[in-house]
Amino acid sequence: MSERPAGAGGRAGRTVTVREAVRGAAALLAEAGVPSPEVDARLLAEHVLGRALYLLPAGATFDRADGGPDLQARFADLVERRRRREPLQHLTGAMAFRHLTLAAGPGAFVVRPETEVVAEAAIDALRRAGSAVPVAVDLCTGSGAIALAVATEVPGALVHAVELSPAAVAVARRNVAALAPSVHLVEGDAATALPELDGSVDVVVANPPYIPPGAVPREVEVREHDPDLALYGGGADGLDTPRAVVARAARLLRPGGVLVMEHAEVQAAAVRDLVTGAGFVDVVTGTDLTGRDRYVTARRAG
């Protein structure tokens, strides 16, 4: 096997073990400012090897891992791409959300851990709906993460998922086919989709784009790789798309039905006013696991 320099997953002069390569990769990623360098280096190695690192003997090398002589070169290439802040999920093709492992790829928003509490609020509301066949609609579904969490955690629910971006729909279609084929995926505008369901839905949930135009994300992975359509909500306050979602939810929901919608921490008061102005009652701001204002829940009056 050819030797590789220290910065590419090996040390000059000898063949290194997988664990040594992972430690070297973690140092490179840390120097580049990657937030979780040790975890990312390990996950990239496990992706290349097709197995968990703890299953390998301590002295295992890439060329003896039953995957061919190019494994170390593949690992080094992925580490370099991650060093340049390409999202980990794009490199591995997978992302975790609640109990699911979803397909990920360019063109679809990389789902964040804080959205898991939004999904949980929707799941709890649907479980309390009391309908023989509870119905949920996920507007701006992206990769399908929330819709699939709802469908798999509320057995028997009828779940519809709406997404405007063809690229995101392609990713969502893969996830629906793999995880919950019963989910009804619709390529369309959240502001007008599913008119046939007006007045019959138990829960509408959404993680719409909501970033104002001047609030460019600090994270390189978000700023340079997440699609603008999934980030910027339109209007000076970033709330044009959330306004459309709230208006559509007001028509979709049955009396007593519940809206759950994610927003930015600084938008909590504005979103409460927006939802109240649309005729919803019991309007409450929910927090994520870090205590930040993250989403709104509200009930359609009646």
Q: Which residues of 231-270 are buried (b: 16+ CB within 10 A; e: fewer)?
A: bbbbeebbbbbbbbbbebbbebbbeebbbbbbbbeebbee
Token pair 């992972």: residue: 22
Q: Is 69 annotated as a binding residue?
A: no
Q: Is 207 annotated as a binding residue?
A: yes
Strands (E), the chain: 94-97, 100-103, 135-139, 158-163, 184-187, 201-206, 253-262, 280-287, 293-300
In whole angstroms, what is the distance from residue 143 CA to residue 172 CA?
4
Q: Is 37 annotated as a binding residue?
A: no
Alpha-carbon 253 to chain mean position: 25
Side chain identity, residue 134? P
Q: Is 213 annotated as a binding residue?
A: no
**Do the Cβ atoms of 12 and 3 come closer than 8 Å?**
yes
Look at residues 299, 256, 260 and name the one whose alpha carbon lies nearest to residue 278: 299
**Around 206, how many Cα atoms within 13 Å sit in the side-chain half-sphere?**
31
Q: Is 163 annotated as a binding residue?
A: yes
Side chain identity, residue 257? G
Binding-site annotation: residue ranges for substrate: 207-210
Binding-site annotation: residue ranges: 163, 207-210
Binding-site annotation: residue ranges for S-adenosyl-L-methionine: 163, 207
